[in-house]
């Protein structure tokens, strides 16, 4: 089974392997999965995948206060993917920035927009 197909196969709680590693704050698994992607576009696809609620792995790391994984994801995104991911709204109409603010996480809120011009 191709790696990307395996990574996006949904498990019993409707969450793919990569998103699950992000939710758990599993740095090792997140890095291993990203390292298996041959091209940047493959990394972007894995990082931009949305679950049944429209949440991306980035959104889930912020929601679950896994700032170490949030930083890894942002560091591995192209500037375009980073901007799209930060501004993308889930099914509830919320962005990553909304959730960082809800968590009162100033560090993550600043991190989301570092590098924007």
Checking if the pLDDT of 14 tops 70, the result is: no
13 falls in which pLDDT band (50, 70, 90)?
Answer: very low
- Residues 44, 47, 48, 50: is their CA dihedral positive or negative? positive
**Which single residue is written with the structure tokens 């019993």?**
12
DSSP symbols for 34-95: HHH-SSHHHHHHHHH---TTS--HHHHHHHTT-HHHHHHHHHTS-HHHHHHHHH---TTS--
Domains with residue ranges and CATH for the chain: 3-113 (1.25.40.20)
What is the distance between the alpha carbons of residues 112 and 85, in angstroms, rounded to a whole number? 10
Tell me the whole-structure pTM to 2 decimals.
0.83
- What percent of the chain has pLDDT above 90? 73
Angstrom CA distances, 47 to 38, 106, 112, 117, stand at 14, 23, 15, 22
């Amino acid at each position: 089974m191709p790696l990307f197909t395996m990574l996006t196969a949904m498990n019993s709680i409707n969450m793919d392997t990569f998103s699950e590693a992000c939710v758990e704050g599993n740095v090792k698994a997140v890095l291993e999965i990203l390292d298996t992607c041959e091209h940047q576009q493959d990394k972007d696809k894995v990082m931009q995948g949305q679950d049944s609620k429209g949440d991306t792995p980035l959104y889930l790391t912020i929601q679950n206060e896994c700032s170490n994984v949030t930083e890894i994801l942002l560091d591995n995104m192209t500037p375009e993917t980073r901007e799209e991911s930060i501004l993308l709204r889930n099914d509830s109409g919320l962005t990553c920035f909304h959730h960082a603010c809800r968590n009162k996480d100033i560090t993550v809120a600043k991190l989301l927009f570092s590098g924007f011009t």
